[in-house]
Structure 1
């Protein structure tokens, strides 16, 4: 696998990946997936050859880098790509924020803990999926 991850302006490719994973696979409504933050976020796109296979976005405000909309196509899950996306998001955020925050689906808490995040606060519902906020110093 020769996947590259970089900042991108191709929000359309990122949204296509998010549609496949969040709307089609996980049943998240389009109203919950599409918001008005894309234009104010940094976007990461993972490309395998010339095919988009993963994405994440970073919203930086008030010293906090909120990492979200992290997804990887089924074909590339289990390869370490999700962790690579998070590490790249952390690298991009350093110097722009003091902490990184994300809302993790509860089944993925261990994945994010292995990347240095600590769960905070109670479990909450986001688009019908249980989540928990997590923080990590940058």
Structure 2
């Protein structure tokens, strides 16, 4: 397994293939919502197996020293193998190396326990995002 950090220009083709399979085709997210204004400025983690991208997520950094992880997706045939954990650990390491003080994410409700194991805490009410129940989660990064 190889996880690379890339700009959107370098990551777009591979990241979108995974995101399309997971979010658009599997979960029914409207295609026009999948790529947004944060993609071009985010750092993208791409996980490869035999030179095929099988997982992705992104880290968007704000000017206030915080970051947001999003668009975490692993192809169905590669889930429950620790790949999501590896991707998150890489992005959390990048966030720390960039001096970010905190991270937040919009977690689909059914995967909140996954993020809690990484140290994120759920905050606020459940809300709808692209037709899927979500909840905000936060983490203060060690200095």
Question: Where on the TM-score scale, by shorter chain, does this alignment land: which range?
Answer: over 0.9
User: What's the counterpart of residue 107 of structure 1?
Assistant: 110
- Report the Cα distance in structure 1 between the residues aligned to 2:37 and 2:94, rounded to whole angstroms: 21
**Pairs within 5 Å for 1:31-110:** 31-61=32-62, 62-96=64-98, 97-110=100-113
Secondary structure of 1:10's partner? helix
1:116 aligned onto 2:119: yes
What's the RMSD between the two structures over aligned residues?
0.9
User: What's the counterpart of residue 7 of structure 1?
Assistant: 5
Which residue of the other structure, out of 124, 133, 140, is the alignment partner of 1:130?
Answer: 133
Shift of 1:133: 0.4
- Report the Cα distance in structure 2 between the residues aligned to 1:38 and 1:109, rounded to whole angstroms: 23
- Report the Cα distance in structure 2 between the residues aligned to 1:63 and 1:56, rounded to whole angstroms: 19
- Report the Cα distance in structure 2 between the residues aligned to 1:64 and 1:95, rounded to whole angstroms: 13
- Report the Cα distance in structure 1 between the residues aligned to 2:15 and 2:58, rounded to whole angstroms: 9
- Report the Cα distance in structure 2 between the residues aligned to 1:43 and 1:31, rounded to whole angstroms: 19
Shift of 1:95: 3.7
- Report the Cα distance in structure 1 between the residues aligned to 2:21 and 2:97, rounded to whole angstroms: 32
User: What's the counterpart of residue 23 of structure 2?
Assistant: 22
How does the TM-score come out when normalised to structure 1?
Answer: 0.95
Structure 2: state its 5+ residue gaps. none
Cα deviation per residue 1:47-95 (whole Å; 9 max; x = unaligned)?
0021100000010002111000000001110000011111111001114
Task: Tell me the matched-pair count.
Answer: 136
